[in-house]
Amino acid sequence: MSLIDVSDGNRLTATALFNLHKQGRAMSDISNTADGGDILLFDNPVWHAIEARIIAAFSDVRLEDGIGYFEANAKDDYLNPDDPCYQAERARDDRHDWMSLVRHIEANDGRMNECAHCFMDLKGLYFHLPVLLLTNTQLLSTYFLNPDTALLDLLTPPQWEILIDLYEYLVDYDWWIDHLMKEEETQCRTCGKIKHRESMTRAEAMAHVENSEDFKIWQILRNEYEVRFGRATSPARR
């Protein structure tokens, strides 16, 4: 699921949020107040509050001498490090501002090399994590949220907390259970045929939600947080 919808002209992009943060605006103010002609009045303020917290929590992360997105692309293309094309791609990696890659993805309508992070080192993965949080959460389960990876050792408590809250939001546990317990009719956009979905019992709905990948990741993160920090995560903020 993407957190960026560049097709909606009234929606504040992650880039705009980051610029406000650099100007010294408090994240709570950015999430809860209007600015510049209602630019901050969103259709989903909870989602944008999460985006703002991601930006704040990872704002100090740097690539340093790690393998960034563009260098990883070069590796994916089987280029030799001595190749001038490889060196040119490595030079494209911003080592201080991961939001530059978010801006690149936004400018390309969300398109990105979804295999690039397979070729990154630990520093590159850490630098790339907030980029995926803001652009493509579907890749996180495969490459970032394995409890055995050393990447999790680098996360600060605020970074852990926003990861957990993000997945709580994606799961939306109570809403999905209520939704699955209702009968529903939908019309196919292609053929116009009406499709009927039978309602589930509460037990069936709970089993369905708890078998989802996002729910499993949410629970893994909560358990890992408690083990690492000796305390449970905060109650739901929604």
CA torsion through residues 115, 116, 122, 123, sign = negative
Per-residue pLDDT tens over the stretch 178-211: 888 887 766 666 777 777 667 889 999 999 999 9
Across 117-145, average pLDDT: 85
Cα 58 to chain centroid distance, Å, stands at 12
Instruction: Decide if pLDDT at 128 tops 80.
Output: yes
Which sequence spans correspond to the domains of the chain?
1-140, 155-238
Of 18 and 169, the one with more pLDDT: 169
Instruction: Decide if pLDDT at 29 tops 60.
Output: no
Lowest mean pLDDT among 27-41, 53-67, 90-104, 155-169: 27-41
Query: For position 197, what pLDDT does the model report?
Result: 67
Q: Decide: pTM greater than 0.85.
A: no
Of 120 and 15, the one with more pLDDT: 120
